[in-house]
Amino acid sequence: MHTVHWVLIVAAVIYVALRLIPGKGWKIAPAYLRVVLLCMAAFLTLTPFIWLICSAFKDKSIMMQYTFLPPVSDWFNGALNLDNFRHLINVKDISPQGPVSFWQYIVNSIFLSCTITSINIFLSSMAGYALAKYRFRGRNIIAFVMIGSMMFPAMLLLAPLFEMIYKFGWMDTYLALIVPSAITVFGIFLFRQAMVGVPNSLLESARVDGASEFRIYWEITLPLVRPITAAYCLITFLGTWNAFLQPQIFVQTQSKLPLPVVLNQYIGLYVQEYGIFLAGTLLAIIPPAILFFILQKEFVAGLTSGATKG
Amino acid sequence: MSANVKKSKGGPDRHPLAPWMFLAPYLVYAAVFFAYPLLYAAWLAFHQTDGPQASVFVGLGNFKFVFTDPRFYKALTNTTIYAIASICIQLPISLGLAMLLNNSNSRMKGAFRLMIFSPNLVGQIFVGVMFAVIFTPHYGLFNKGLDALIGWGLEEQWLQNPDLLLPALIIISLWMYVGYNMIYFLAGLQSVDKQLIEAAQIDGANSWQTFIHITIPQIKPIAIFVVIMSTIGSYQLFDLPFALMKGQGFGPGDSALTIVGYLYDWGFNVGDLGTAAAIGWVLAVIIFTISIFQIKVTHAYDVD
C-alpha cells in the first residue's frame, strides 16, 4: 500500500464517520467532502510545479533517483545545487552570429512583451473608446466587421502573413512580431464594455472646460477603467510572453529569439540533461507569475466580463 | 473645431472626425492585417507556390489534394477526438469544481481559484517542455504517480506509443484548462438567482432536481460560450504537441498531428503556402460549421 492510498482511505473514513454522527455531523459532512475534493484538485494542479522547482535544483547525478527531493541529509552534500542555472547562464549558445547568453533571451522576451502590451493597450482602448462614447454613422458596420473577424481562425491568416512579412522586408525583425499584434478586437470589445459605463456628464463637463477629445479619453476615461486595463495588460502580456508560432516562423537569428522558441530548442539539445531546460522553464514562468499575483483580481474580472455582460 | 455641429446627445463642440481619429489605427490594422490576408489566403488557396516567389494557378487542386491526403484525415480525427474529450471530460470537471467553489466561503474560494487556475500562466510550449519529462517511462512524475495510485503505467511510453500519445495530450490539456473554464462557470454560477434555488428547495426539490431545473438553465448562456470557445481552441491546437514532440515531427504514425500542425508542415516545412492556405480555409469552414451547429442546437433546445 502506498501513502496515497492511506491518505484516501483516511479521508473516506472521516467522511463516513461524519455522516454517521447524528445531528451536527450530517451538516458538516458535505462541507468536509467539498474541502477534500478541492484539496485533491489543488494538489493535482500544483504537483507538476513542485516537481519542476525540485528538479531545477537537483544535481544531474540524482535527477532520476528521486521523484521530488533527496533526503534532507543529502541536501547540503551537493545533491541540491545551482548547477543547472549556472550552466544555463554561463554556457552560451553557439550560433552563426556568435555566442548568445540566456540573459539575451530573457531581455528579448521582456522587451517584446512590454512593447506589444503597451502599444496594444493604447490602440485597443482608443478604438474601444470611439465605439463606447461616440454615436456616428458606420459605427454598427464597424462593430459587425469586428465580431465577424473574431470568427476567423488566426491560422488561416498565417500563410498570407508570412508572404506579406517577406515582401515588407520584415523577416527576422521584431516589426514582424510587434505590428501584427499591435491591436486586438478582443481588447477593443473589453474596453468598449468598460467605457460604456463611464458617465457622459463627466465627459461633457470636460468638454465645456475646453479639454480636447484626446485628453478626455486619455486623462478622464482611461483612468476610470483601470481594472479592465490591468486585466487586459495581464492577458496581453501572457499571450505575448508565451507566443511561440510567430517568433518561430518570423525570427531566425539566435540572438533575437524569445524564450519559448529557445526552450523548444533546448528540449532537443539537452536530451540527457533535462535539469537544464527545466531550470530554464522555471525562470521563464517567474515573470508572468509575478504579474499574475499582482493583478489576479482584475484578471479574473476581465476574463469573464465579456462573457457575463454579453 | 466646428461649432455648428448639430447638438446631438454627444454634447457641445465636438469634432465630427473625433471617433474616426480614435478608430484610425484599427481601420488601418484591419485593412492590412485582416482583410488583405483574408483575400490573399483565398487567392493563395487556388495557387501552387514554391517559396514566396513563384506561383501557378491550380484551381481547386490544393483542396482536391487536401481531401485525398490520408494525413489530413489523420489530423482531422486527432483534432476531433481532442475537441470531444475537451468538452466531455474537461468541462464537466470544470463545472463540478466551480460548483464546489461557489458553495465555499470567500477566502477559501480565492485561494483554491488561484491554485487551480495557475497552469494558465504557463504557455503551451513551456507545458510541453515540462510534460515531455513528466511522461518519461519509469522515472517520470506521471508514470510514478499512476503506478502508486493504481499499480499500472510505470513503464508505459506515453509519448512513443501511438495509442497513448493522444490520451497524454488530453491529460495535459486537462491540467492546463480545467481552471480556465472553471473561472467562467464560477462567474455564471455567481449570477444564478439564489431565491429561485431556495424556492425550489422549499417546494421539496432535491439537489439533483435543483441542479437540472434551476442551475443549468441559468448558466446556459455562459455554458454555451465556454463550449464554443473550447471547441474553437481545441481545433487550433498546435504548440503543445509540437513542444511535446520536441519540435521534431508529429509523433509516431502522426498520432499527435493536428490540423494546424498539418498546416504548419505544409506551409513552413514544405514551403507550399498555397496548400497551407487551403488547409486554413478548410479549418475555418470546420470551425464555422461546428460553432453554428452548436449555437443552433442549443438555441433549438431553448425554444421547446
B169-179 pLDDT, tens digit per residue, is: 999 999 999 99
Residue A147: CB atoms within 10 A of its CB come to 11
Q: What is the pLDDT of residue B103?
A: 83
Note whether B281 contacts A130, CB cutoff 8 Å.
Answer: no
Rounded Cα distance, A22 and A27, in Å: 9
Looking at every residue in chain A, the average pLDDT score rounds to 88
Q: What is the pLDDT of residue B11?
A: 47
Give the HSE-up count for residue B293: Cα atoms under 13 Å, Cβ half-sphere. Answer: 8
Residues of chain A with C-beta less than 8 angstroms from the C-beta of B116: 41-42, 45
Yes or no: domain B72-303 corresponds to CATH 1.10.3720.10: yes
Cβ-count burial A52-69 (b if 16+ within 10 Å, e if not):
bebbbbbbeeebeeeeeb
Q: What is the pLDDT of residues B19-38, one digit of tens each?
A: 999 999 999 999 999 999 99
Q: CA B126, A41, A12 angle in degrees (round to 5)?
A: 150
Quick one: pLDDT band at residue B220, thresholds 50, 70, 90?
A: confident
Rounded Cα distance, A207 and A215, in Å: 10
Residue B167 has pLDDT above 80, yes or no: yes
Rounded Cα distance, A201 and A223, in Å: 16
Mean pLDDT along residues B210-223: 86
Mean pLDDT along residues A65-81: 82
Return the C-alpha cell found at B204: 421539496
**Above pLDDT 70, what percent of chain B?**
91
Q: Give the residue among A193, A198, A241 at the shortest CA–CA distance from A222.
A: A198
What's the pTM value of the predicted model, to 2 decimals? 0.88
Residue B149 has pLDDT above 50, yes or no: yes
Rounded Cα distance, A110 and A88, in Å: 18
Note whether A180 contacts B25, CB cutoff 8 Å.
Answer: no
Rounded Cα distance, B189 and B95, in Å: 9
DSSP-based three-state secondary structure for A80: strand
One-letter amino acid of A262: V
Looking at every residue in chain B, the average pLDDT score rounds to 87
Longest dimension (CA), chain A: 78
- Distance separating the N- and C-terminal Cα atoms of chain B: 55
Interface A-B, measured as beta-carbon pairs within 8 A, has a size of 266
For residue B57, the cross-strand partners are B47
Mean pLDDT along residues A144-151: 84
Rounded Cα distance, A46 and A271, in Å: 25
Rounded Cα distance, B142 and B156, in Å: 10
Return the C-alpha cell found at A53: 522547482
Helices (H), A175-250: 175-178, 185-196, 200-208, 213-215, 222-224, 226-241, 245-250
Residues of chain B with C-beta less than 8 angstroms from the C-beta of A200: 9, 11
Q: What is the pLDDT of residue B9?
A: 47
DSSP-based three-state secondary structure for A58: strand
Note whether A157 contacts B52, CB cutoff 8 Å.
Answer: no
Note whether A274 contacts B148, CB cutoff 8 Å.
Answer: no
Task: List all residues 6 or more positions away from A125 whose beta carbon is below 8 Å from its beta carbon.
Answer: A187, A191, A195, A217, A222, A225, A229
Residues of chain A with C-beta less than 8 angstroms from the C-beta of B183: 300, 303-304
* B76-80, B112-116, B192-196, B213-217 — most confident range: B76-80
Nearest chain B residue (CA) to A242 = B123
Mean pLDDT along residues A260-272: 86
Residues 57-96 of B with CB under 8 A from A: none
The interface pTM score, or ipTM, of the predicted complex is 0.88
User: Crossing angle for the helix pair B162-190 and B216-235, nearest 10 degrees?
Assistant: 140
Cβ pair A259, A285 in contact under 8 A: no
CA A10 to chain centroid, in Å, comes to 38
DSSP-based three-state secondary structure for B55: strand
Residue B208 has pLDDT above 90, yes or no: no
Nearest chain B residue (CA) to A47 = B141
Q: Give the residue among B228, B226, B274, B231 at the shortest CA–CA distance from B79.
A: B231
Identify the structural domains of chain A with CATH numbers, from first to last: 3-57 (no CATH), 100-309 (1.10.3720.10)
